[in-house]
A = this chain, B = another copy of it.
Amino acid sequence: MEKVRFGVVGIGSMGRMHLANLQRNPRAEVVAVCARTEGKVKAAQEEFHVPYGYTSVEAMLENPEIDALVVATGADAHKEACLAACKAKKHIFCEKPLAKTIEDCEEIEKAVAGNVGKRFTVGFMRRFDPSYAEAKRKIREGAIGKPILFKGVSLDPASVLPAHLEGVKKGIYVPWFIEMGSHDTDLARWFLEGDPVDCFASGDAYVCTELADYNDYDNGFSLTRFDNNTTAYIQVGRTATCSHVESEIVGTKGTLRVNSVPRKNYLSAFTGSGYVEECQESFLARWGEAFAAEIDDFVDCVVTGRTPETTAHDGTMSLKYCLKLHQAYLDGKKK
């Protein structure tokens, strides 16, 4: 069996997770890693037994043994890596968000369009979660009639706040409607099969009040009218008691819910507090299966020539929607 040979750009927590998942896929192998710091590169090579290591994408792309790239750097660096990889005629799996500006997104879209015969996708892994995938399947089969409302709630536990504030101060982190919201904006478009027209948003930096100094917030609530007469309610927050991503798709004939109670596992308890189900503590605990499925699907696309469902355009449109939500939030604050 021919294996797809991957180079992984960016070896933070996301890059390492994709790397580990690729190593478990029998049709893939990771032959190279790339990061800015030489020490990190060496360490990753050793830990994961990866033959080649680089500190620049260009150098890596000169290696003819690489078929495909996983781009898992910060969003700022996505464009550079994607453009170079397109030029080098590689398959590309790019983490979300596609980029930090619409202009960058559109440049990537163009480059991807020119990279004929090669696969490209953006890492909206929720689409590969078994529950979301089944929800989509049921909707296609007509189980709930026509979808008219998508509700997406994406919450991080309050424990993440101090690190977030640090990141915001350093200019590394983008506001929450853009960072966390990117998943829900993609899901909204996926389930409603339309695009956003009007947005209205509210919220505030209720707990970590310092975020307000950076036009950021710890809770954002929004409602969006879509061009096909449907609606999306998107709520993001980072003051929750657990990691909690819950979605609902309301149709004219029924309603589907995903993860309404973010149960940690199959265990429940009767204690002095009542009936208790512990909840998901981190996004990896929730999405491990989806991350594996999405990279497996991408390997399959490369091997079989099938086109990935999620396109660069989806990446652009998700960001556009995120920016609209953020702007609506800022507009509301001015009133």
Contact = CB atoms under 8 A, between A and B. Distances in A.
Interface of A: 1, 23-24, 26, 49, 129-131, 134-135, 138, 143-144, 146, 148-149, 197-198, 200-204, 206-207, 219, 221-223, 225, 229, 231, 233, 235, 237, 239-242, 244, 250, 252-279, 332, 335
A184 to B, nearest CB: 14
Contact of A259 (B203, B261, B266): B266
Interface centre among A149, A202, A206, A256 (most CB of B within 10 A): A202
Nearest to A259: B266
B206 A148 contact: yes
Contacts of A138: 269
B258 A241 contact: no
Contact of A267 (B240, B256, B269): B256
- Indicate how many identical chains form the complex: 4
A271 B241 contact: yes
Contact of A276 (B131, B198, B253, B276): B276
A180 B129 CA distance: 31
A204 B250 CA distance: 13
A131 B266 CA distance: 5
Contact of A219 (B144, B149, B272): B149
Contacts of A129: 266
Interface centre among A135, A262, A275 (most CB of B within 10 A): A275
Given A129-B266, A257-B267, 11 more contacts: A149-B235, A201-B223, A204-B229, A207-B252, A222-B223, A223-B223, A254-B270, A258-B268, A260-B268, A263-B275, A274-B277
B275 A261 contact: yes
A260 B264 CA distance: 14
Contacts of A26: 23, 49
B240 A270 contact: yes
A148 B252 contact: no
